């Protein structure tokens, strides 16, 4: 009897290009994929608005990456910042490095996850008796060079959110136990989602997410019917759907890859940088993270559009996403919908309604 190879079976993922509406969330995800240093995205909105579907869809859309074979950290074969110590040692010893292509890792962080599950654990007994660093990698290792998705991030323990944000910002995860320390690459796009009714994140944590997208339930009955029909049709015959959207998916995939390659050449002139900082200052944004993220996102948007020069139009498209969650000083305040950011942006950039 021939056994089925279960690795060849995969659950079909709803195509990213088939998702109706939710433009803010889709744009924020695409820009973070083009430049992961933007710092991730926090998606807040009603239940059942397709947050998880959209995040899985962007991971599925992205091209495969080349990783070192059998390496638990998805190490890159030549980039030191994306490489584990074992791979570095193997390269220095001039060993032959085998590689393979894998889909971009998409890691879900369960709500009840412990610190050990997230960061990984060191087997102290093995380390002491056998003299080896016995490290059991956690979710941060699996997420390296991929996307880490935390649903209901506002219900997650603050200490864990801190760890995630630290790793996302530095690109490294350090585990220390009983004087033994292990460090490995953990460069990923952090995507958090939640429902504002269940409580907001503290302003200090919220500020560390690069972007904040808001999504609302579609109110138009015709559009609602369209969304329901498309989802039902996809569930009934996913392969037909995937075929129908194959060319659009490939087109967007090529556009994202081209933007990633173009990004280092994109320029943002000095006058525009001054005006971005003026907007942040007028809005009384604490620290400089808002300025940095807005600059990065504007460049990513220009690259996405296939240009090497950032325009005022590019900044107008992303500035609300980058700044609206940085205005809260009081944890009991609600997040600005974007009107305040837009108003100040128009005043500083002298744009008339």
Task: Report the catalytic residues.
Answer: 289
Angle, to 10 degrees, between the axis of helix 23-34 and the axis of helix 246-262? 50
CA distance 51 to 53: 6
Q: In what order do the strands lie in the sheet with 211-215?
A: 106-108, 147-151, 189-194, 41-45, 211-215
**Residue 269: HSE in the Cβ half-sphere, 13 Å Cα cutoff:** 7
251, containing H or E segment: helix 246-262
Buried (b) or exposed (e) across 64-101, using 16+ Cβ within 10 A?
A: ebebbeebbbbbbbeeeebbbebbeebbeeeeeeeeee
Q: How far apart are the first and last CA of the chain?
A: 72
CA nearest neighbour of 326 among 352, 287, 295: 287
| Number of Cβ within a 10 Å radius of residue 290 | 25
């Amino acid at each position: 009897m021939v056994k089925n190879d279960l690795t060849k079976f995969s659950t079909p993922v709803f195509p990213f290009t088939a998702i109706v509406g939710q433009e803010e969330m889709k744009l924020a995800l695409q820009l973070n994929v083009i430049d992961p240093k933007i710092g991730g995205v926090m998606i807040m909105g009603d239940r059942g608005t397709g947050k998880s579907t959209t995040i899985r869809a962007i991971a599925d859309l992205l091209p495969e990456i080349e990783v070192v074979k059998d390496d638990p950290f998805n190490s890159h074969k030549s980039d030191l910042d994306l490489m584990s110590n074992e791979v570095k040692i193997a390269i220095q010893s001039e060993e032959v490095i085998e590689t393979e292509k894998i889909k971009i890792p998409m890691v879900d962080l369960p709500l009840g996850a412990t610190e050990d599950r997230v960061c990984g654990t060191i087997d102290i007994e093995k380390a002491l008796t056998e003299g080896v660093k016995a490290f059991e990698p956690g979710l941060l290792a699996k997420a390296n060079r991929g996307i880490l998705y935390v649903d209901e991030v506002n219900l997650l323990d603050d200490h864990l959110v801190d760890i995630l944000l630290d790793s996302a910002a530095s690109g490294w995860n350090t585990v220390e136990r009983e004087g033994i320390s292990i460090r490995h690459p953990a460069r990923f796009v952090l995507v958090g989602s939640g429902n504002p009714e269940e409580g907001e994140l503290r302003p200090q944590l919220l500020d560390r997410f690069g972007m904040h997208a808001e999504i609302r339930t579609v109110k138009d009955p015709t559009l609602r019917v369209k969304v329901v029909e498309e989802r039902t049709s996809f569930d009934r015959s996913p392969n037909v759907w995937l075929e129908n959207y194959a060319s659009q998916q490939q087109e967007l995939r090529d556009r994202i890859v081209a933007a990633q390659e173009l990004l280092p050449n994109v320029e943002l002139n000095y006058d525009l940088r001054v005006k971005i900082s003026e907007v942040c200052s007028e809005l009384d944004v604490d620290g400089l993270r808002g300025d940095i993220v807005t600059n990065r996102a504007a460049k990513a948007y220009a690259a996405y559009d296939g240009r090497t020069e950032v325009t005022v139009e590019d900044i107008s498209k992303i500035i609300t996403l980058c700044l609206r969650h940085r205005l809260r000083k009081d944890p009991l305040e609600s997040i600005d919908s974007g009107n305040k950011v837009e108003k100040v942006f128009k005043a500083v950039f002298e744009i008339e309604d």
